[in-house]
Amino acid sequence: MRLSDVPGLAQLALALALTASSLATAAAQETGDQAIERRVNELLGQMTLEEKIGQLNLVSHGPPLRWEDISEGKAGALLNFNSARDVARAQALARQSRLKIPPLFGLDVLHGFRTQFPLPLGEAAAFSPRISRLASEWAAREAAYVGVNWTFAPMADLSRDSRWGRIVEGFGEDPTLGAALTAARVEGFRKGGLAAAAKHFAGYGAPQGGRDYDTTYIPRAEMYDTYLPPFRAAVDAGTASFMVAFNALNGEPSTANPWLLTDVLRTQWGFDGFVTSDWVGIGELINHGVAADGAEAARKAILAGVDMDMMGQLYIKHLPDEVRAGRVPESVVDESVRRVLRTKFRMGLFDRPDIDPTRVDSAFPTPESRQMAREVARETFVLLQNRDNVLPVPPTVRSVAVVGPLADAPHDQLGPHAARGHKEDSVSILEGIRRRAQGTGITVRHAPACDLFCRSTDGLPDALEAARQSDLVIAVFGEPQELSGEAASRAHLELNGRQIEVLEELAKTGKPVALVIMGGRPQVLGPVAERIPSILMVWYPGTEAGPAVADVLFGDVSPSGKLPVTWPRATGQLPFYYNRLPSSRPTLPDNRFTLNYIDEAITPLYPFGWGLSYTQFAYSDAKLASRRLDEGQSLEVSVSVTNTGARDGQEVVQLYTRDPVASRSRPLRELKAFEKIALKAGETKQVTLRVPVESLGFHLDDGTYLVEAGAIQIFVGGSSLAEPAGEAEILKTFRIPPMERRASASTSVAQ
């Protein structure tokens, strides 16, 4: 019913009733929040100091946890409890404790629990918040089924350096993509039943030399512009918690950094959930050289804003004395406990039945979860090059040689942090190709050529023989999962072992070769990019790697992933990213005294946002709704995109801007909006991308956002090499104070 359907007085009465009911809803909403605060304070009022500190203690399954710590109220949060039997036992013990406060059960659920989806960096290549939400929701559902209720994810660390092994856990190098996907992941986890922990706050992804745990120097304005937006987006998406980074930021370890944990997170962003340390991170303040002993480390951490101690046992050991001696005000402990209890009430933990201990994760994967994992995975593959259209496998091909150790690597395809992933559930790439070939008359030969790390090439003669006997070679190489993830920094990003030699030999057979790269970051390809015509990056695709890779190799689905990281030609180019500042001496190929290397090209091998399809897309008619932009308005750009090829496909339409003259040097290009669209062969769609004027500026060191009057250049296309699409003018300069700026103002991304 619409109001205009109702005559006269009745209309007025109905309008009043509607107003009253919406006011009542608002009041009820307020009461809900207030009720939680009341319950938190009532509970806090009954707690001893030891019980309070027990809520701040996060302990892993196994030593040093004693099960009776739970019934004694000394372990308010638990991690690595990944079976319903153990969760139920802990829940029963918590019910025996004096105040019966339910524990949190945390686990690293990044990209799946039992069914594994692609690793986050791969998932980012889908350039699709919908895909990220879906994958996170499925991961959460399976973990929640056995009683896990909190995930140490998403990793919101932006990284411009693929030497850093943990780049695989994030979204790559771009803050706009990062903010959109971090928010989507938080939402997906919550929908599937897990509270999120945005980690690692902050700057962890920029350690010097790409060395995990090493120190980070990032100017504050750059923190606000580049490294913090994904974390801010996590707050706006409702993350329950944060995890602090291990390393020091500008000389101040994050675990004792009041600027990060209090000024930015609580005061400027208004975050009222809780913050946990990383694994024994509080004790590591001693290694950082900012605490002499455990007591000082505990004191510095809680005073800076770390509410929970993961595995350090330092809060439980030292905080009671620190409080009694007056070195830590009890009100500080109370505030931390409030944050933890508030989160537990919000999650509904006090009102939930305990988990059924007979539930087992072998209930998964289901046919449905496999189908989802397959659909997500095939959105994430990036076709880096495809000379001579080697892919998709042409209908004339009657035999393929599947070569390379990663073709049959059911463990490695799951990638690092695979929670309860079992390699027995995996369908390998070889198996996927065999299944797809079945019934088509295509013969599949398999020869690994070398061992997993490609140290020995004893198998090369067999592999070359298989290649010679076949019409096409599918070579599956890359980075075994042990070389990726935490504590897996690499100083050499070349394809490890003797892979290059093997690939060159394969190329010499004269057979067309398609290289499928599995791995957690760009690999330095050296001569391979020249010798091998077609290269498909598949990251770590997860449980359903085989079917998903076969879908794309055989052309049942066109590849549509785009690079979320710049792909270097050489390790020495790192850190490397597209949104860099202009140089005083822009590159001129024939002038040595400009931005150049003397021994390598200055350009990446493949740029950010890059990825081919089996079809082609043409961009035309880019138009600005208005060239003049005032405060509160949006830059609105429309463009027609046509699928000019013979196959259906998907394209990620990307909008970049540049502020060519500002009071501070501004990046050559910045991604501001993107949208993934599906186009049938021959189809044209008009895409409209909007960017609020409030996100066309930059931050100052104190967090103020400054939008300056003047020209903004616009580029639209299918990668960061997008073509110019016009220029707009911001009419006046204005500032947004840090507390008034919302992350949503900084992105404009179709969901």
The least CB distance from residue 78 to ligand BGC, in Å, is: 12
Pull the structure tokens for residue 561: 């992933």
End-to-end CA distance of the chain: 30
Residue spans of alpha helices (H) in 452-544: 460-469, 499-508, 528-531
The least CB distance from residue 294 to ligand BGC, in Å, is: 19
**By CB under 6 A, what part of segment 79-108 binds ligand BGC?**
108
The least CB distance from residue 720 to ligand BGC, in Å, is: 29
The least CB distance from residue 644 to ligand BGC, in Å, is: 44
Select 157 or 425, whichever has its Cβ closest to ligand BGC: 157
One-letter identity of residue 621: D
Q: Under the criterion CB under 6 A, does residue 152 sit at the interface with ligand BGC?
A: yes
Residue 122 and residue 549: Cα distance in Å, rounded?
A: 13
Q: Under the criterion CB under 6 A, does residue 379 sit at the interface with ligand BGC?
A: no
Residue spans of alpha helices (H) in 395-521: 429-437, 460-469, 499-508
The least CB distance from residue 657 to ligand BGC, in Å, is: 33
Catalytic positions, written as ranges: 278
Q: What is the residue whose two structure tokens read 């308005």?
A: 633
Pick the closest to residue 211 from 481, 490, 568 (CA basis).
Answer: 490
Q: What is the residue whose two structure tokens read 């179709």?
A: 750
The least CB distance from residue 152 to ligand BGC, in Å, is: 3
Select 166 or 378, whichever has its Cβ closest to ligand BGC: 166
Select 60 or 596, whichever has its Cβ closest to ligand BGC: 60
The least CB distance from residue 492 to ligand BGC, in Å, is: 24
Select 103 or 609, whichever has its Cβ closest to ligand BGC: 103
Half-sphere exposure of 606 (CA within 13 A, CB side): 25
The least CB distance from residue 204 to ligand BGC, in Å, is: 8
Q: What is the residue whose two structure tokens read 């994810």?
A: 153
What is the Cα 281 distance to its own chain's centre? 22
Select 117 or 698, whichever has its Cβ closest to ligand BGC: 117
Q: What is the residue whose two structure tokens read 């008034």?
A: 740
Q: Which residues of 524-549 are buried (b: 16+ CB within 10 A; e: fewer)?
A: bbbebbebbbbbbbbbbbbbbbbbbb
Select 149 or 369, whichever has its Cβ closest to ligand BGC: 149
Q: Under the criterion CB under 6 A, does residue 734 sit at the interface with ligand BGC?
A: no
Comparing every residue's Cβ against ligand BGC, the nearest one is 152
Pull the structure tokens for residue 52: 């309070």
Task: Tell me 262's DSSP state.
Answer: I
Query: Count of CB atoms within 10 A of residue 87's CB?
Result: 24
The least CB distance from residue 223 to ligand BGC, in Å, is: 20
Q: What is the residue whose two structure tokens read 């009671």?
A: 320
- Asked whether 72 and 97 are in contact (CB, 8 A), the reply is yes
Pull the structure tokens for residue 221: 């304005």
| Of 123, 278, 431, 551, the one binding ligand BGC by CB under 6 A | 278
Select 215 or 684, whichever has its Cβ closest to ligand BGC: 215
CA-based radius of gyration for the chain: 27
Taking CA atoms, 556 is separated from 278, 363, 398, 649, 718, in Å, by 43, 30, 17, 11, 22
Enumerate the β-bridge partners of residue 675.
653
Select 276 or 748, whichever has its Cβ closest to ligand BGC: 276
Pick the closest to residue 495 from 514, 476, 513 (CA basis).
Answer: 476
Residue 301 and residue 298: Cα distance in Å, rounded?
A: 5
Roughly what angle, to the nearest 10 degrees, separates helices 175-192 and 229-236?
30
Select 156 or 467, whichever has its Cβ closest to ligand BGC: 156
**By CB under 6 A, what part of segment 450-489 binds ligand BGC?**
486
Size of the site for ligand BGC (CB under 6 A): 6
Pull the structure tokens for residue 525: 């390809």
Query: Count of CB atoms within 10 A of residue 220's CB?
Result: 17
**By CB under 6 A, what part of segment 615-644 binds ligand BGC?**
none
Q: Under the criterion CB under 6 A, does residue 322 sit at the interface with ligand BGC?
A: no
Select 246 or 656, whichever has its Cβ closest to ligand BGC: 246
Compute, in degrees rounded to 10, the torsion defined by CA atoms 644, 649, 652, 653.
Answer: 30
The least CB distance from residue 79 to ligand BGC, in Å, is: 6
In degrees rounded to 5, what are phi and psi of residue 94? Answer: -60, -35
User: What is residue 489's three-state secondary structure?
Assistant: coil
DSSP per residue, 166-235:
GGGGS--S-HHHHHHHHHHHHHHHHHHT-EEEEEEETTTT--GGG-TT--B---HHHIIIIISHHHHHHH
The least CB distance from residue 419 to ligand BGC, in Å, is: 10
Select 51 or 108, whichever has its Cβ closest to ligand BGC: 108
The least CB distance from residue 486 to ligand BGC, in Å, is: 6
Q: Under the criterion CB under 6 A, does residue 185 sit at the interface with ligand BGC?
A: no
Torsion sign across C-alpha atoms 432, 434, 440, 445: positive
Select 273 or 692, whichever has its Cβ closest to ligand BGC: 273
Residue 212 and residue 485: Cα distance in Å, rounded?
A: 10
Q: Under the criterion CB under 6 A, does residue 408 sit at the interface with ligand BGC?
A: no
User: What is residue 717's three-state secondary structure?
Assistant: strand
Binding mask 196-235 for ligand BGC (x = CB under 6 A): ---x------------------------------------
- Asked whether 265 and 296 are in contact (CB, 8 A), the reply is no
| Of 259, 279, 350, 734, the one binding ligand BGC by CB under 6 A | 279
Torsion sign across C-alpha atoms 453, 533, 605, 556: negative
Which residues in this chain contact ligand BGC in the complex, by CB under 6 A? 108, 152, 199, 278-279, 486
